[in-house]
Amino acid sequence: MSGMDRRRFLLHAAALGATTLSPGSLAAAKPAGAPFRVVVIGGGYGGATAARYLKLIKPDLDVTLVERTQRYVSCPGSNEVIGGLHPASWLERRYENLRRNSGIRIVCDEVKELERSRRQVILDTGTRLPYDRVVLSPGVAFRWDAWAGYDEAASRRIPHAWQGGPQTLELREELAAMRRGGVMVIVAPPNPYRCPPGPYERASLAAYYLKQRNPRAKILIIDPKTQFSKQALFLKGWEDLYPGMIEWVPMSAEGAIDRIDVTRRTVHLDFGQHVADVLNVIPPQKAGTLAERSGLTDESGWCPIDARHFLSSRDPFIHVIGDACSAPPMPKSAFAANTQAKVAAAAIADAAEGRDAGTPTLINHCYSFLAPDYAISVTGVYRYSESEHGLTATATGETPMDADRRLEARSARAWQRHFARDAFG
């Protein structure tokens, strides 16, 4: 690591309180000279950051990043694509910089199995990667059995657009083709799920698009919850920007979701039903399939971890970070995945050197756009609590009601640029 990189990393890690992290129990002695092998699974915001920071902190680690796709497609920013602010290509992240500049081995393959008893990662092509530690960041999977009528086959007709990929563009095209004065229905998922403010940002940016091209159109958000992230700020923004255009239907108003009829584009609730011209169903979620298949999830469907170092409660050699892990009260966001990746990377570097653990402080900061020059944000600072055996929020905050939303939008743009670089190099 160059002197500048090391200084930058130390500043960053100090800000996270992560430099002294590593539990004594992790500090398994390695024979002198043997490389400490880390396999990172998943090249999204969590995995790419982990791989990059492992090498920044401890360049002599042997780091392999396994990702099934050649190019990662970002979810952050995808609502802006749906709202017509950017082309879909704007969401692509490549691995060239990581490959070229970091000394990370990048393998484009699917991890088929984690053979935990032999500490080997088995790839689809049959290759076996032995490891001392795994960092697992597989993102989310959907609970296809949760809502009658909306299974994987149905999602090919009615897009969820909740994983980076072609569905973002499909939804955008459906919006563009919607009849004059039509209704877009967004079905939001129950907690916990990836990106708590995401469905409401999506409604806002769809409204931004429709206001210009189809101003009599309406957007309905059907919600199995009774409250949502940044709620007061969203409601105020909708009143200011899109009066009468967006309606939020919480569970307390019309009951739970009974079934979804994808042929008739109808959502049936306990006490009502809504017919959509454009239907977007965001299904309930759980940890990515590999985590479940590898026995790393609990009955909640998410991966229990020790938040001091994001080590799985099921396996002392596997760190689970990002959306797949259960780290309440941290939300499931790219920002959170990035912070957790740094804590896990520091823990692994410390373990490789036989150092003991500190207590990490983590941060999350999530922007949402309601229009190109109108954004809001929420921040949380989280610290490990011995008495709670988990994270507690030590500080939280939102955009003040009277704050300048244009300034927030400018900060959000700057964050998007720097954040992509921090994760993907």
Ligand X SMILES: Cc1cc2nc3c(=O)[nH]c(=O)nc-3n(C[C@H](O)[C@H](O)[C@H](O)COP(=O)(O)OP(=O)(O)OC[C@H]3O[C@@H](n4cnc5c(N)ncnc54)[C@H](O)[C@@H]3O)c2cc1C
Binding site for ligand X (CB under 6 A): 41-47, 66-69, 72, 75-76, 78-79, 110-111, 137-139, 162, 194-195, 198, 288, 290, 322-324, 332-335, 337, 366-367
Tell me the closest approach of the beta carbon of residue 7 to ligand X, in angstroms: 26
Tell me the closest approach of the beta carbon of residue 96 to ligand X, in angstroms: 16
Q: Which is nearer to ligand X, 140 or 178 (CB)?
A: 140
Q: What strand order describes the sheet that includes 120-123?
A: 111-115, 120-123, 128-130
Tell me the closest approach of the beta carbon of residue 57 to ligand X, in angstroms: 19
CA distance 408 to 416: 12
Q: Which is nearer to ligand X, 327 or 334 (CB)?
A: 334
Tell me the closest approach of the beta carbon of residue 68 to ligand X, in angstroms: 4
Q: Which is nearer to ligand X, 269 or 347 (CB)?
A: 347
Tell me the closest approach of the beta carbon of residue 156 to ligand X, in angstroms: 18
Tell me the closest approach of the beta carbon of residue 69 to ligand X, in angstroms: 5
For ligand X, which residue has the nearest CB? 44
Rounded to 5 degrees, φ, ψ at 354 are: 75, 25
Q: Which is nearer to ligand X, 22 or 377 (CB)?
A: 377
Q: Which is nearer to ligand X, 42 or 224 (CB)?
A: 42
CA distance 50 to 358: 18
CA distance 102 to 381: 29
Q: Which is nearer to ligand X, 140 or 220 (CB)?
A: 140
Tell me the closest approach of the beta carbon of residue 366 to ligand X, in angstroms: 5
Q: How far is residue 230 CA from its own chain's centroid?
A: 17
| Closest by Cα among 358, 366, 380 to 307 | 358
- Angstrom CA distances, 365 to 26, 75, 293, 338, stand at 30, 16, 31, 11
Tell me the closest approach of the beta carbon of residue 126 to ligand X, in angstroms: 14
CA distance 270 to 59: 57
CA distance 289 to 324: 9
Q: Which is nearer to ligand X, 65 or 346 (CB)?
A: 65
Q: Which is nearer to ligand X, 200 or 254 (CB)?
A: 200
Residues 346/21, Cβ–Cβ less than 8 Å: yes
CA distance 179 to 255: 28
- Angstrom CA distances, 209 to 177, 178, 205, 270, stand at 12, 12, 6, 31
CA distance 97 to 424: 7
